[in-house]
Structure 1
Amino acid sequence: MKYQIALTMKEIMLKNGRNTVWYGDLELIEECAELSGVKIQHPKKTIKYILDNLDRSPCFTKGYIIADIDGSKRRYRCFKLK
């Protein structure tokens, strides 16, 4: 199932003309979870589960988006199609 999640996300991204996905792309992540049959109740857990699977996939490369919120820097994982 884990490899299926990455392939599902890849298809969704290509369908939407996207080459990157990150923590804030809730529509893409929720669509991927639904199509993959992921049943996690809290949205943050669903996002983490999907992104963790992309992290292990050979279809994606990982990078980071750095945001400065009220003087503190936060890093968000960002995945790009290979």
Structure 2
Amino acid sequence: MLLTARFDNATATKAIEDGSLPKTFQAAIESMNPEAAYFTSTNGQRTAFIVFDMQESSQLPVLAEPFFASGASVAVRPVMNLEDLQTGLANLGR
């Protein structure tokens, strides 16, 4: 799965100043155990892209809520690595 969290600038700045945003990121990374995590800006907003394996959809509230609580808009979508894509393409037409 790919979780994208885009943070409101004013809220994120306050969370950086009070130390809560780094703690949010650390807790999220520990609970998700991601394959990869990237942090950048998108359209002028602080943004996190986190690739992780979600075993059950019931995990979503626990994983996304810390970002919502930090003022982020959150999107989660399934993604594949190259091996997954090759497996899927090999199964076409079966």
- State the TM-score, normalizing by the size of structure 2: 0.25
TM-score (norm 1): 0.27
Structure index of larger Rg: 2
